[in-house]
A and B are shown apart, each in its own frame.
Chain A
Amino acid sequence: MFAIEASGVTKVYRRFSNRRQFATLKSALLRGTVFRDLHPAGTFAAVRDVSFKVPQGTTYGIIGRNGSGKSTMLKLVAGITKPTEGTVRVNGRISALIELGAGFHPEISGRENIFINGIMLGLSKREIARRFDEIVEFAELRDFIDAPVKTYSSGMYVRLGFAVAINVDPDVLLVDEVLAVGDEAFTHKCLDKFAEFRRRGKTILLVTHALNLVEKFCDDVLWLDGGGIRGEGDPRRVVSEYITDVAKAEEKDLAARDARERERVSQSVPTAGPAGDAAGAPPEPPADMFKAGEGRWGSREVEIVDVRILGADGAPRHVCQSGEPATIEMTVRARQPIEAVVFGVSMFNADGVCCYGTNTDIEDLEVAGFSGEQKVTFRIKSLDMVEGTYKLDVAAHRVDGYPYDYHRQLYSFRVMSNAKDIGIYRPPHTWEFSAGIGARGRTIEN
């Protein structure tokens, strides 16, 4: 027995062009297009040929990036919009936690709103009266229930909406990213309520970006991408495929951003004459180097022509896994033989905090002079950093600090991690317990 059956569902929205957006009765009459204007012209498929079945009593997750059609799918299941093609069948009473408190009237009290909202969601007056105390209790609004809803804070508003919707006692519960409301305690209460629903054999359709929730709660997962199905099935497998895909997209995004940044810098800083021509005044380094934003300066007697971040497999990337090896590879060029040179690297987190910085001089490496194009490689055995986006400085300068080429935060990379630990540095570690403490779960093996 299936609680939800969607087969071949396609939802096409009208795409508004400028002209059509301001379509008015007058212009429609003048052009004689009254009835044509009631039909879509330019279209856009938000959901494309999606089929899935949700067995009764299971929890089904829908994941996907922004704009992938998740919410549209949920609205189709809820019956709020009708599919352009295909059918959606739902067995049993639906309650949709989509827009909480969407039918509240601000001028009247919470008490009256509970009744009206409940009736809208399909309860009778008597049923609401019976559940009234439970609803108020759940929303934690006992003291304010007779105040007009317009005086509520946004949190109170949403809590009340949630409390009413969840007490409708539906057979099928549709949840759209609503667990973000309320404090920790309220979120736990909501999760408990979901667990109770599951125990009682109700069906839940969950749309969320909280992947850990999906892994923990869902029996099956549907991954939507661009309106179509990308994957379906076991949560762990689908979620990990999804994460890989997101990382790839992020990779592309970071690469594009870096390219734009370098483009901007190379335009604003004219290259300093032919190499060695000291007359071509090198762009001045900023007064306080550590407060400077993105930029590039130096005389370019030694030029860093390319910087690449390589993963464990030696392929260039912008997204790395925490704890895995990483390599920063610089291609440098000296147009004329150069004497001693110092190479440096440092990394900054999103707050601009320097997580690590070093150079060959600090580490007592004497780099002999060179000429032509060469490669400098900075190898990190294990990238022990917490999850986040980092920016990279690379530099070539003289031992006395005179800059040849300084690239300030022109490169970024993202570190991904399974653990959501905090800070800026993750020392390789393990947890150990004496025999008296039992412990289960993943542990970070470093």
Chain B
Amino acid sequence: MTIHSSPSPPGNPDKRALARGLIARIGEPRMLAWTAVAAVLVIWEVAVSVADINPIYLPRPTRIVAALIEMFRSDRLLVDLLITLGRIFGGFTIALIAGTLLGVWMATSERVNAIADNFIAALYPLPKVTLIPLFIIWLGTGGPFMLTISALGAVFPIIINTVVGIRQCDPGLVLAARDLGANNRQIVRMVLLPSAIPSIFAGVRLGLGVSIILVVAAEMLVGKFGLGARLYLAGQVLETEQVFAVLIILAALGIVVTKIQDAVDTWLSHWRIS
């Protein structure tokens, strides 16, 4: 197929140009992403009305949005959101600190590495949800349990990536730091750790995802508050609109986390040498 640039026919040249401009705008990848979302929502709304589907199975998007607003206004959904966020990021912060420290220790001491190696090899591939019953027995179902589960989800990818990152550090940088007067401690803090940051962040990306999954799953199982608990309760009483509303919150959380991580990745481009 060839594209002709034929002279525009007489009539409404302005309108045609406008239409063509609009189509071109929608065709842009950025616009297209949102246009697609909008299209799906419209089709969903119309299809549910036309086919007269029972809202218990599939409520209309407009009803879901109404339910969402209602939940925020009178049902204190914000409190549940903050509780869940607190659990996720509280546990994640613990994992970040503990995981980085242990990773540095493992990467710089052969003995520590030897001791930790088998435990990590055993625990890393284990699906962490399987540990939920055990931790309920040990810690109950309150805050400490939630923080532990969240930390446990994130800690292994962070440890492993910290070790890898430090081992990949250019030996020339260590030599240069030593030449400029750095002792071992300063080399860890000012060379090994910074040079491992891109790798540690890759671990953070993986770990935070697992933390989110685990906290929401644990809340669904035993939580009284939090998004997971709200989701599960709404499902129990067939409040499908509320189920969707919570899912939207979780999806939005996913988008925000992903975008922040992308921004951090861009900032980390300083670390690339060439």
Bind each other: no
Seen from chain A, the residues whose Cβ lies within 8 Å of a Cβ on chain B are none
